[in-house]
Amino acid sequence: MAEPLPAPQLGTLTWQPAAEHLDLLGAPVAAAVASLTEPVWVAAIDDDAADTAAFTDVYEVPLTASANCVVVAARRSAQTTMAACLVLATTRADVNGLVRRHLGARKASFAPQDVAVAESGMAYGGITPIGLPADWPVLVDAAVAASDLVVIGSGTRGSKLAVPGKVLAALPGAEVLEGLGQPVD
């Protein structure tokens, strides 16, 4: 049997194998963890520190090691496509440009909070690409896919996941896009 991988050293958090701590994950995320290509890690956090700026301040995880998942509603005629965009926390998703064109939409915008929560089955502030509905495109910025390890949501506000970028690039429905994450002005 293979030796277990050592826990990552990211910030001040105590990381544990996510597959052994499913109670820390949102239900859709917990259901999807077993299908991942490599182990991922989970750390419990304070719900009030789930938003990126607070999280990086409180737990000393660099912004460059964090990624944000935003839910987009792309519309063409009467058809709406939900999609997830995963970009480094130092960037913002190019929703009105690259995302709109890539999805073949006339209009693309951030999904309303209540729609994002209802459609994903995850808590706002904890929505993550792992465990999303199978028909959602998961657009992953190339910089995220190239990361050794990136911190993302866990489906709840009470924990975070540390995941290799290549695992995120291999998710069902995932497409790696160069330039998805644009520098923040």
pLDDT digits (tens, 9 = 90+) for 92-110: 999 999 999 999 999 999 9
Residue 76, both tokens: 């063409």
Mean pLDDT for the chain overall: 93
Query: Which among 177, 155, 154 has a CA at the least distance from the CA of 95?
Result: 177
Residue 4 — very low, low, confident or very high, per pLDDT cuts 50/70/90? low
What does the alpha-carbon distance between residue 15 and residue 54 come to, in Å, rounded to a whole number?
18
- Is residue 74 a contact partner of residue 166, using CB atoms and an 8 Å limit? no
What does the alpha-carbon distance between residue 135 and residue 46 come to, in Å, rounded to a whole number?
32
Q: Is 16-178 in CATH node 3.90.960.10?
A: yes
Three-state DSSP string of the chain: CCCCCCCCCCCCCCCEEHHHCHHHCCHHHHHHHCCCCCCCEEEECCHHHCCHHHHHHHHCCCHHHEEEEEEEEEEECCEEEEEEEEEECCEEECHHHHHHHHCCCCEEEECCHHHHHHHHCCCCCCCCCCCCCCCCCEEEEHHHHCCCCEEEECCCCCEEEEECHHHHHCCCCEEEECCCEEECC
- Is residue 140 a contact partner of residue 174, using CB atoms and an 8 Å limit? yes
Spans of all domains in the chain: 16-178
Longest dimension (CA), the chain: 54
Give the residue-averaged pLDDT of 8-15: 90
What does the alpha-carbon distance between residue 159 and residue 67 come to, in Å, rounded to a whole number?
14
pLDDT at site 7: 76
pLDDT at site 57: 93
Q: 40 versus 10: which is more confidently predicted?
A: 40
pLDDT digits (tens, 9 = 90+) for 24-72: 999 999 999 989 989 899 999 999 999 888 999 999 999 999 999 999 9
Residue 163's CB is within 10 A of a number of other CB atoms, namely 28
Phi-psi region of 121 (alpha: psi -120 to 50; beta: other; left: phi over 0): left
pLDDT at site 1: 42
pLDDT at site 2: 44
Residue 8 — very low, low, confident or very high, per pLDDT cuts 50/70/90? confident
- Is residue 86 a contact partner of residue 168, using CB atoms and an 8 Å limit? yes
